[in-house]
Structure 1
Amino acid sequence: MQELEHISKHFSDGFLSVSIASLTPEGTPYISYAPFVKFENHYYIIISQMAKHYHNLKEHQDASIMFLEDESKAQSIFFRKRLSYEVDAVFEDTNIEVIEAFKQRHGHMIDQLLTLDFVIVRLKIKKGLLVLGAGRAYVINSDEKIIDQAGRGQGHQKWNKAHNPSLGNVLFIWIYPHVPLWIILAKWPWSPRVSFHWKIQMYQRRFLDDSYLTN
């Protein structure tokens, strides 16, 4: 567990910027990025007040951030390592130590940006998720402690047999558009497990969408 927490706390060390998911004032998801630093278990980003994500974070403090493994380094494109957090955006006066941390990481251009319309925003961690591969996802709390393994460590499973359609169900789906309603609502001889409610849903779909016949 300590090794996993060490990985989660230092996962972002190899990044200079972070992906940000925010909401527009109208509630539309918006994706962006910004340079960042990590200081005393908080993430800080520097953004322009002219940028769309600035206004989004002003309106909706809830946001998400993600550090995503580079495609060229990933063992599998389907299971790229990543660290994501749900955060609150906090607008406050920035202390000199955070500014110095930005300078050390991003150079003295920070001084110039701060004389313009750029501001530093603190991202307060609420909870997170560390994904290290297939079946290796770990839930993180606000103190960056791993508290659980997502999916109870079972990994990705084959489709549950209970959800697979029986032969009777398949025949029912194929035949029902051509069968009167009273027959459909009767007990289906090939598949007694087909519920009354499901039959109704399927019959209603007949009049709404026949695309399943061609897809």
Structure 2
Amino acid sequence: MSFESILAHMNEHHQGELIALCKKYGNSQVEVQNAKLVGVDFVGLDIVYNENLSLRVEFPQKADEKSIKDSIIALCQAAKAPDVSGIADEIESFKKEFGSIIIASIDKQGNAISSYSPLIQVDGALYIYISEVAEHFESISANPSKVEVMFLEDESKAKSVILRKRLKYRVNAVFIERDSSEFEKALDSLESAMGGAGGIKTIRKMSDFHLIRLELGLGRFVKGFGAAYDILPNGEIKQVGGSGNPHGNPHSPHNPHKA
């Protein structure tokens, strides 16, 4: 399929899809009346809409002669009106892939602390089990309501380093009393997940280790270009609306890259 045939086909048969791309990635402050594909290459599409507004929409991955058709189809499908019905299940499945979690916290002096911890997931609840000697213990203790956590897709699994799937939450850290039923259940789960190895049986008995439940607040799930979702504390999921594509240029319909 040549670039010329792609231009002709899209403009003749897929005006709706081109308009949808402009609505999703273009200037959200204007109503899209019409759209025309004026350029295409293996990196993305150049579109002019409303006669004088230009937009560059790039593929998540560079295409080639064999994959460009599928890349365009995928881009157009992603621009359709959001259906969040399956996002909640996708979020839960994504969470379950992880045995550790990235943590951001604030110490007593107001300094940001980045860290990670093994993660315990029990009946939908999230826990970490950390030592008093760990740097983040002091910061989480000092500011338990000023903590964020992130699940971040491994680079080796991502389509691109800038498209790593990620899920983050603001959390409230709640310290769980040692020897409580909640403590025992969470540590039983961790010990089972680790197969009883890795020193878990030893540190389970150490009094300077503490179990913390992470109570989830506002969250955000990002799974690709234009695919970001806010997760409200009540569980409601809303797609995040963009304010435009950084490659768009309202002044030059003939050269979308010229500032």
Q: Which has the larger radius of gyration?
A: 1
- Structure with higher RCO (Cα < 8 A, 6+ apart): 2
- Normalised to the residue count of structure 1, the TM-score between the two structures is 0.68
Correspondence for 2:97 among 4, 7, 14: 14
- Normalized per residue, the structure richer in helix is 1
Q: Does residue 46 of structure 1 match 2:136?
A: no
Amino acid across the alignment from 1:78: I
C-alpha separation between the residues in 1 aligned to 2:202 and 2:85?
40
Deviation digits for residues 128-173 of structure 1 (CA, Å, limit 9, x no counterpart): 1111101100011235x34211125x774535648xxxxxxxxxxx
Deviation digits for residues 88-133 of structure 1 (CA, Å, limit 9, x no counterpart): 1111215222121111222323331122222111110011111110
- Normalised to the residue count of structure 2, the TM-score between the two structures is 0.57
Amino acid across the alignment from 2:170: E
Q: Does residue 121 of structure 1 match 2:207?
A: no
C-alpha separation between the residues in 1 aligned to 2:248 and 2:230?
24
C-alpha separation between the residues in 2 aligned to 1:11 and 1:155?
28
User: 1:46/1:155 Cα in 2 relative to 1: closer, same or farther (>3 Å)?
Assistant: farther
User: 1:132/1:91 Cα in 2 relative to 1: closer, same or farther (>3 Å)?
Assistant: same
User: 1:46/1:58 Cα in 2 relative to 1: closer, same or farther (>3 Å)?
Assistant: same
C-alpha separation between the residues in 2 aligned to 1:10 and 1:48?
29
Partners of 1:48 and 1:119 within 8 A in 2: yes
Q: Which runs of 5+ in 2 are unaligned?
A: 1-83, 252-259
Amino acid across the alignment from 1:158: H
The equivalent residue for 1:137 is 228
1:11-160 matched pairs, under 5 angstroms: 11-61=94-144, 62-93=146-177, 94=180, 95=182, 96-108=184-196, 109-116=199-206, 117-143=208-234, 145-151=235-241, 156-159=245-248
C-alpha separation between the residues in 2 aligned to 1:142 and 1:107?
34
Deviation digits for residues 53-89 of structure 1 (CA, Å, limit 9, x no counterpart): 0110000012000011111111011121011111011
| Count of residue pairs brought into register by the alignment | 161
C-alpha separation between the residues in 1 aligned to 2:200 and 2:249?
54
Name the SS for the 1:111 alignment partner.
helix
Name the SS for the 1:151 alignment partner.
coil
